[in-house]
A and B are shown apart, each in its own frame.
Chain A
Amino acid sequence: MKKVLYIIAHNLRVLRSDRSAFFWLLAMPLVFTFVLGIMIRDGGGGSGEPPRYALTVANLDEGEHGAALLEAIEEADEIDLLVVEGPDAGAEAEALVEDGDRSAALVIPADFSALLEAGEGAALTFHRNPERMNPLVTRQAVEKIVSRLNVSALAGAGVLEGYEHLWGAVPEERAPELTARADRFVEEASETPPLTVRVETLGRGPEEDAPAMGFSHSSPAMALMYVLLNGLMASVFLVTERRERTLMRLFTTPVRRSTIIVANLGWRFVVGMIQIWFLIGFGALVFRVDWGDSPVGLLAVTVTYVAAVAGLSVLIGSVARTSRQAESLSLVLALTMCALGGLWWPLEITPRAYQRVGHMIPTGWAMDAMHNLISRGYTLAGVAPQALVLAGFAAAFTVAAVLTFRHE
């Protein structure tokens, strides 16, 4: 419908006639992306040291493998270790976690070394308290260490096996030397351990790429935040159009009500899309954010998210009686949804109840999808659930907006 496009173009012109719009839509989010990105690069402390995560370890194994694992954990920079000892160490560690005194505990079973020496797999138990922050991060740090040990063990076994194959049984006195050599090899090979990627997702990457890690959260988060904030604030335009009677006048022209509503959703959608893709582009070029391998996935997420914001904006504009009402409602809703949706701090580090609330609103799902794309490298299928939920929000807001839309 031609008139929809005319009304959209007209509203963009009205928006352009307001010189401060550029500043609020494009410049502000960049400033905040930069500030938040720098802040969370340093783990929030600004001390320059990587953040440390609390982990309690109970080593029930008396053998060398248990000791080696414990040593590896002790060496890990990111882990703030508490070792509990004694015969009841396992139960003690569990109790600490259950009471919420510690967020996570790792129990090395008594038969750990024995099982490994027998060539069988051994299971470590990781206890976590979901009500506390951090357990996911801690678990990932532990998994990283364990996986390195796994590789190391396999490589060591491989070297010994190769020696046997060539020269027969390994002489007792040569074994340590061979094992050490294998370890060195593994050490080199695991400079880039396979699971470091997962740890990066939480904003703490390897030293040399540290700044981008902060931006890979702040860039999508601030894009989502400002699209929401500016988008909801655009509800004021609808109130102004009613107050200044231009909307009423529009209803005296031969234009359908549906055309007017679609156009009102439409121009907000267009502005939101321009804004979010500008911020994505800027993030990629200037903050060196890697937006993942799925432009289609990113498109699906941005389209549904911006549509939800546009729907909510028209709804607020229809419900609010005065500009001031629309403004404060928009501000309160936008800021609450930013905080609860994990735009200011990752939802992954929040308690479970918090995460549940975060997934009752669009921002939580949008941020999830962004992390899936950026950090987890998911494709369209990986963000389809989030995109569908966002589309559901968009549909619900739009229906409510259509029902409440009025010209006086």
Chain B
Amino acid sequence: MRGDAIIDAERLTKRYGEIVAVDSVSFEVPEGEIFGLLGPNGAGKTTTIGILSCLVTPTAGSARICGIDVTKDSLGVRSKIGVVPQEIALYPTLSARDNLVFWGRMYGVPDHALKQRIEEILETVELSDRADSRIDTFSGGMKRRVNIAAGLLHRPSVLFLDEPTVGIDPQTRRSILELVVELNDHGLTVLYTTHYLEEAEFLCNRIGIMDEGKMLAIGTKEELTATIGATGVIAVSADGMDESIVGWLRSLDAVADAALVESELTINVIAGPNLLPALVEKLTSSGAAVHSVDVTVPNLESVFLHLTGKSLRDRDGSPAEGEPVGKKT
């Protein structure tokens, strides 16, 4: 596989003094894939993208993009990649078109082709009618789309999208995810980082799960969920739970993992005797006020719980439960 991988990262490590931002991370992405880097804040996703786009010099390890070493030929690598930063990296006082002209030129798109490319890309991100408005008059979602467009002008072999849906409404979120799918359908390889597991599940062919700089597991959603040995997931929403309930659950044979984040309790359940009656009994006797109990099949949340003992859902930021993220074509 080494030969045809577009992204090939080998034991990448980046230290900032005491902090190990990326710790011996290896993965490969073949052409045409959407590969997801899933992990909570500070997992090392942005740093990994930084190394792959030659912004950050790795402390150890090596990486190749289209066979070009990131530490040896940064200009060569940069002409192959499109990078969409986590932040809106645009000039707010210039129009969308002027921004795209500038970034296109920086990517070395020849002047005679640039105008046409910009029209096409504005069409793709559905902003043709606002092309000549200043960026600072745009909504958050529109800015996000121009931010992505700026990374596509030179028709890169691989696109790095670093949390492109942070802080935007569900509708814009969906349109961005659909855009990524569309681009991928046209053959673009995508490295997509997120801490929303729904996005990773919906978009990515394969997913790498990161936490605290380490790559914990890589695989398709099915491969990953198969590794945890659980057959079901119980999600309890209740007030008045404490860590003692987690301790009790972990002592049970039927429980693979359990984690409590605020009023959300997540349990990976191994096939066997039905846990539910005993759980409800335990919760009510401990005085917890149960709002809901959901039983589902294992998902990436269960995998993350299994791998780290923590819940991936942070206290805010995560999209609302059950929010559909789109329809995979």
Contact = CB atoms under 8 A, between A and B. Distances in A.
Interface of A: 3, 6-7, 10, 13-14, 17-18, 244-246, 248-256, 407-408
Contacts of B88: 244-245
Nearest to A255: B106
Contact of A254 (B87, B91, B107, B134): B107
Contacts of A7: 106
B87 A245 contact: yes
B54 A253 contact: no
B78 interface: yes
26 contacts: A3-B105, A3-B106, A7-B106, A10-B102, A14-B91, A17-B93, A244-B89, A244-B90, A244-B91, A244-B92, A245-B88, A246-B89, A246-B91, A248-B85, A249-B83, A249-B103, A251-B55, A252-B78, A252-B83, A252-B85, A253-B78, A254-B79, A254-B106, A254-B108, A407-B55, A408-B55
B103 A248 contact: no
Nearest to B134: A17
A14 B94 contact: yes
Contact of B78 (A6, A13, A244, A254): A254
Nearest to B53: A252
Nearest to B98: A13
Contact of B105 (A6, A17, A245, A256): A6
A75 to B, nearest CB: 64
Interface centre among A10, A246, A248, A249 (most CB of B within 10 A): A249
B317 to A, nearest CB: 20
B94 A17 contact: yes
Contacts of B85: 245, 248-249, 252
B93 A14 contact: yes
B193 to A, nearest CB: 15
Contacts of A246: 89-91
B209 to A, nearest CB: 25
Nearest to B80: A254
Nearest to B82: A252
A253 B98 contact: no
Contacts of A244: 87-92
Given A6-B106, A407-B55, A252 B93 contact: no
B81 interface: yes
A384 B104 CA distance: 43
B75 interface: yes
A256 B54 CA distance: 12
Highest count of chain A CB atoms <10 Å: which of B55, B76, B91? B91
Contacts of A255: 78, 106
B105 A252 contact: no
Contact of A256 (B75, B76, B98, B102): B75
Q: Interface of chain A, helix or strand or loop or mixed? A: loop
A256 B75 CA distance: 7
Contact of B89 (A10, A13, A248, A256): A248
A252 B81 contact: yes
A250 B81 CA distance: 13
B137 to A, nearest CB: 12
B75 A254 contact: yes
A359 B54 CA distance: 44
**Which has the most chain A C-beta neighbours within 10 Å: B53, B76, B103, B105?**
B105
Interface string B60-88: 00000000000000011011010101011
Contacts of A3: 105-106, 108
Interface in B156-184: none
A253 B89 contact: no
Nearest to B91: A14
Given A244-B90, A254-B76, 9 more contacts: A6-B106, A7-B106, A13-B94, A245-B85, A252-B53, A252-B54, A253-B106, A254-B108, A255-B106
Interface string B93-113: 110001000110111100000
Contacts of A253: 78, 103, 106-107
Which 7 residue pairs spanning A and B have beta carbons closest together?
A245-B89, A17-B93, A252-B83, A249-B89, A253-B106, A254-B79, A254-B78
B114 to A, nearest CB: 11
A7 to B, nearest CB: 8
Contacts of A407: 55
Contacts of B90: 244, 246
A247 to B, nearest CB: 9
A244 to B, nearest CB: 6
A6 B103 CA distance: 10
Interface in B298-312: none
Given A6-B105, A249-B85, A256-B75, A18 B93 contact: yes
Contacts of A254: 75-76, 78-79, 106-108
A246 B90 CA distance: 6
A297 to B, nearest CB: 38
B16 to A, nearest CB: 12
A251 B134 CA distance: 23
A62 B75 CA distance: 87
A6 B85 CA distance: 22
A254 B70 CA distance: 12
A14 B91 CA distance: 8
B240 to A, nearest CB: 43
A174 B102 CA distance: 90
B121 to A, nearest CB: 16
A88 B77 CA distance: 87
A301 B108 CA distance: 36
Nearest to B84: A249
A121 to B, nearest CB: 71
A370 to B, nearest CB: 35
Interface string B191-212: 0000000000000000000000
